Amino acid sequence: MTETAVRFLAEIQVSLKPTVNDPEGTTIAGALGNLGFDTVQSVRAGRYFQVMLEASDAVTAEEHVKQMCERLLANPVIETYSFKVTALEPA
Amino acid sequence: MTETAVRFLAEIQVSLKPTVNDPEGTTIAGALGNLGFDTVQSVRAGRYFQVMLEASDAVTAEEHVKQMCERLLANPVIETYSFKVTALEPA
């Protein structure tokens, strides 16, 4: 870490590509229907990560988070991801 | 459905409360460190849902999504949730 490192919070959403079957989402949609939420049309289930990291600036932080998604957090064959990086305070 | 129903997309994030142990997040943080992402400080793992629903207006849609979170999607004892509702088009 250099002295100018800033702390960032990355909020990452990983979801299945639209063409991939999502039995978990289908099950949840059915359960919501059984609970009386009959206006629900469909549910897609995915994962959510909050990653706290240090970086010199927001562009660097976003680049690191993108690599994390590509290499570990998402499976690029069947999943898509999106994220938002927010600066918290100087680390 | 009335004829004025609008389709909404609710994007819901469910995460463990800060005081609750998150072994999955800890494991992911360790794996990211092993991959060379040594600027990662912590990871919290959660779930992400995309719910497509119909409602007469955004306020109604938000109220329905809140009830879904309370009753099925999140465990209010150990989890918190946040969501955003976006109008898509007339259903």
* pLDDT of A64: 97
Here the tokens at position B55 are: 């409602």
B43 touches A: beta carbon within 8 Å: yes
- Do A32 and A43 meet the contact criterion of CB atoms below 8 Å apart? yes
* Cβ-nearest to B51 among A11, A43, A54: A43
Distance from the Cα of B41 to chain A's closest Cα (Å) equals 5
A6-20+46-90 placed in CATH 3.40.190.150: no
> CB–CB of A49 and B53 under 8 A?
no
The domain defined by B6-19+46-90 folds into Mth169; Chain: A , (3.30.1280)
User: Would you list the domain boundaries of chain A?
Assistant: 6-20+46-90
Residues 6+ apart with CB under 8 A from B90: B4, B5, B6, B7
> CB–CB of B52 and A40 under 8 A?
yes
- Do B14 and A49 meet the contact criterion of CB atoms below 8 Å apart? no
* Cβ-nearest to A40 among B1, B48, B53: B53
CA distance to A1, A18, A57, B71, per residue, from A43 (Å): 42, 11, 36, 15
> CB–CB of A40 and B46 under 8 A?
no
A28 touches B: beta carbon within 8 Å: yes
Neighbours of B80 (CB within 10 A): 16
Over the stretch B13-58, which tens digit does the pLDDT of each residue have? 999 999 999 999 999 999 999 999 999 999 999 999 999 999 999 9
- Do A7 and A68 meet the contact criterion of CB atoms below 8 Å apart? no
* Cβ-nearest to A64 among B14, B37, B54: B37
Per-residue pLDDT in tens (0 to 9) along chain A, 91 residues: 445 789 999 999 999 999 999 999 999 999 999 999 999 999 999 999 999 999 999 999 999 999 999 999 999 999 999 999 999 976 4
| Sign of the alpha-carbon dihedral angle for B2, B6, B7, B8 | negative
Distance, CA of A58 to CA of A85 (rounded, Å):
7
